Amino acid sequence: MGLSVGIIGLPNVGKTTLLNALAMTSAEVSNYPFCTKDRNIGVAEVPDERLTKLREVLKPQSTAPATVTFVDIAGLVRGASRGEGLGNKFLAHIREADALAHVVRCFQDPNVSHVDGAVDPVRDVEVVEAELILADLEVAERAIARREKTVRSGDREAKAELELLGRVRDALGRGVPVRSLEVSSEETRVLKGFSFLTAKPMFYIANTGEDEPSGGELLERLREAVKGEVLPISAKVEGEIMELEDPEERKAFLEDLGLEEPGVNRLVRASYRLLGLITFYTTVHDKLRAWPIPRGTSAQEAAGEIHSDMEQGFIRAEVVSWEYLIRTGSWAELHRLGAVRSEGRDYEVQDGEVIVFHFRA
């Protein structure tokens, strides 16, 4: 599956600077609102020590890590749902995202302008999330109008959807995001088809200052105000880290800052946690590859992440833990020891397993 995260926030809060650090891109960054006039897309590798160890032992010709695609859109401003600014124009670009990362400015700097004049992370969050709710409300109202016409023709499925959409509209009208509604698994499936922005899981990135990476009082105010994970990351510092090509220089720079790893690594892992993802590995044709899947995925469904033909023709899966493969060094030795398990289509794949799929072509 292709994991994607939409990066949202007010203009000039550091979204594009963060994207450049995440994915080693070079999108334009300037000190004025709406510098981003179209979406920027970057792909970041998922940090994975297990994959590194597997590569060292197996020595494949190529290695492909799991990746996360980040989509950065123009900043949202108050009134975006009524046509103010540029952000609302590009919301469609993140409707297919799996999750949202809300970047919030948590630093003072007179040289970096703020669209509302002064830095206030709590107010900024309220502005952006209100615009997301208003954008979803518009989607819900259009969908209701379409379903009402279908219901008059006697369509029972449309009637159920109409009732669900009515609940969604009422909640949004009260300022309640779709993700906060209590819905059944079937209703969740139905709602997914509408790509409501406020239905997506979301975490917050507190863009802290270079001089105060801990965020200080602004970060504490943000944490008290929001429900969800808050990651303090200095986008400017992350950009400086990624500019260092020498691994030793990068390591020394991190040590000087008192950091064990770049903040972007924590951000990617936060995306994984938020979506309940795990990783399995394949070693086919001398290529080692990591695959992200939701926790609870069956072996047959996991095969489908590689190719639909493998899911349809699934026979069985040969499974072993990544630790056991590293200790023995090869599949041949694992088979000799009788350590490879054979699992059926309903087997629930576990995090860190290495799998060989057998299927009818």
Q: pLDDT by residue (tens digit) across 28-81?
A: 333 334 444 456 888 888 889 999 999 999 999 999 999 888 888 766 766 555
What region does 62 belong to: left with phi over 0, alpha with psi -120 to 50, or beta?
A: beta
What region does 46 belong to: left with phi over 0, alpha with psi -120 to 50, or beta?
A: beta
Q: Which residue ranges make up each domain of the chain? A: 3-271, 296-359
How large is the average pLDDT for residues 236-250? 83
Q: What is the pLDDT of residues 282-317, one digit of tens each?
A: 998 899 999 999 999 999 999 999 999 999 999 999
Residue 305 pLDDT? 93
Which has the higher per-residue pLDDT, 302 or 156? 302
Alpha-carbon torsion (297, 303, 307, 309), positive or negative: negative
From the list 288, 272, 290, the residue with the least C-alpha distance to 280 is 290
How large is the average pLDDT for residues 149-173? 87
CATH architecture label of 3-271: 3-Layer(aba) Sandwich (3.40)
Q: What is the pLDDT of residues 185-204, one digit of tens each?
A: 899 999 999 999 999 999 99
Residue 255 pLDDT? 84
Residue 82 pLDDT? 54
Give the confidence band of 220 by pLDDT, cuts at 50, 70, 90.
very high
Mean pLDDT across the chain: 86
Give the confidence band of 83 by pLDDT, cuts at 50, 70, 90.
low
Q: How many residues does the chain have?
A: 361
Residue 30 pLDDT? 39
Range with lowest mean pLDDT among 54-58, 113-117, 233-237: 113-117
Segments of 108-211 assigned E as strands:
202-208
Residue with tokens 């599949």: 331
Residue 36 pLDDT? 43
Largest CA distance in the chain: 69
Residue 355 has pLDDT above 60, yes or no: yes
Residue 256 pLDDT? 84
Residue 320 has pLDDT above 80, yes or no: yes
Share of the chain above pLDDT 70, in %: 90
Residue 2 pLDDT? 65
Query: What is this structure's pTM?
Result: 0.84
Neighbours of 339 (CB within 10 A): 15
Residue 119 pLDDT? 87
Q: Tell me the CATH number for domain 296-359.
A: 3.10.20.30
Residue 87 pLDDT? 46
Alpha carbon distance 276, 306 (integer Å) = 19
Residue 74 pLDDT? 67
How large is the average pLDDT for residues 134-141? 92
Residue 135 has pLDDT above 80, yes or no: yes
Residue 3 pLDDT? 81
